[in-house]
A and B are shown apart, each in its own frame.
Chain A
Amino acid sequence: MNPLRVIEAVLFASDAPVRVVDLARAADDLDEDGVEAILGELRIEYERAGHAFSLVEIGGGYQLLTRPEYAGVLDRFETVPRSGTLSRPALETLAIVAYRQPVGRAEIEDIRGVSVGGVLRTLIDHELIEVVGRGEGLGRPLLYGTTTRFLEHFGFRSLEELPRSDELPVVLSRERSAEPVEEEGISKEEGDGEG
């Protein structure tokens, strides 16, 4: 079988992004470079043929997605699964988790000024965040981080693709670092979380 068509079949039949390393299992003499080359060919093929879908790099893998211009039509079909959108409190909470991960509930509540227990539960239920460890502070609080599903849901390739915080109009990193760090046990990872 033509490895290109095998990979196409896997992408076609998958309901989530497939990682390059997994696609490499499609044929015996295939390595990741080979997969990348094939993905490039497929991308060009779909582009030239004017297909309604294209090959998109998302959530750490590759997936076939319809082009945005068909959204209006697809919305009218019951057979097409609809994507849900998150509430404002969920988005705010998720933003804090995304930029500060790993982060505990206390810090999130401190930033938002409201309790977030219910929102966290919803985000966990939707597999957008997960427990990634425990902090070192009082009671060893649970720390949360984002999941691959989070990347899929927002269309990011990886966490590096998040809008960087220094592109935002308000920057706080300097003021924060000037403070004596009192956050419970998460201070060490804080620098990494900003990426």
Chain B
Amino acid sequence: MITAASAPPEPDSPDWYQVDLERFHGPLDLLLHLIRRQDIDVLDIPIARITGQFVAAIREVHDLPLERAGEFLEMASQLVRIKLRMLFPARGGEDEDEDPRADLVRRLLEYEHFREAADLLGRAERERALRFARGYQPVRSVPTPEPAALESGWDDLWAAARELEPAGELPDPQLTMARRPIPIEEKIEWVLSSLERSGRVEFGTLVAPWGTRPHAVSSLLACLELARRRDVRMRQSGPFAPLWILPPSPP
């Protein structure tokens, strides 16, 4: 994928600029490294040479995560674009006078400026770390105050719920669940055999022989399961009206 964006191979392609991409904090960092290492005047960058070296250096770019790879590739394409504009200057354009490298140079200098600033901060940080205060940790992690709803998982929810619950009042973690006393499979067979006998069955008559709540629940589940399989149809004219179980509609 790099060859598509790459410049023609450079005649002088020594190995020394083989670099470990992981070491660099982005394309500007790498570009500055190449420039500074060769004592190149930033205001007069030999674009063809640097482009070749940059492209060669990011050969291993596909080892990087996609987002980081994209950052390096974007810079490569920008370099190639500048190189082209130096070879074929736009004629009569309003920015005829401007060096095609100007914008890049500005960015490089600005980035270098902040790199120096980061060095100064790093030095200040090291000096500060030599002095200790009571119980003070200069960098400490705190819970993210921003809305984290989308990043919360079940664990977070559970932890939050436990915090709400006053200690000692948590429900016994060993919940006992009653086994379902009547297997649904049994009820399914009962529904089907009743249907076979009488053509159509009212729900109440299915439950009537037992009349207990567990039987009613199992019977209803059986009917719903059969309806889901399209083995029966269920009809009810209104709430609390008789619930009829019918054979599946004829094809």
Contact = CB atoms under 8 A, between A and B. Distances in A.
Given A83-B137, A113-B27, A121 B114 contact: no
A144 interface: no
A172 B42 CA distance: 14
Contacts of A170: 109, 112-113, 116
Contacts of A16: 136
A114 B68 contact: yes
Given A15-B133, A81-B135, A169-B116, A154 B109 contact: no
A112 B141 contact: no
Given A63-B133, A71-B132, A111-B110, A91 B141 contact: no
Contacts of B122: 85-86, 88, 91
Contacts of B35: none
Contact of A64 (B71, B129, B134): B134
Contact of A153 (B109, B118, B138): B138
Interface residues of B, number: 46
Interface residues of A, number: 59
A78 interface: no
Given A86-B125, A156-B124, A68 B130 contact: yes
Scoring A65, A81, A114 by chain B CB atoms within 10 A of each residue's CB, the highest score goes to A114
B25 interface: yes
B129 A88 contact: no
Interface string A60-91: 00011111101100100000111111101101
Nearest to A116: B26
A112 B113 CA distance: 11
Given A66-B131, A127-B142, 15 more contacts: A12-B134, A84-B137, A85-B122, A95-B118, A95-B120, A95-B121, A96-B114, A113-B26, A113-B71, A114-B27, A125-B142, A153-B125, A154-B128, A168-B120, A170-B116
Interface of A: 12-16, 56, 63-68, 70-71, 74, 80-86, 88-89, 91-92, 94-96, 98-99, 110-115, 121, 124-128, 149, 152-156, 163, 165, 168-172, 175-176, 179
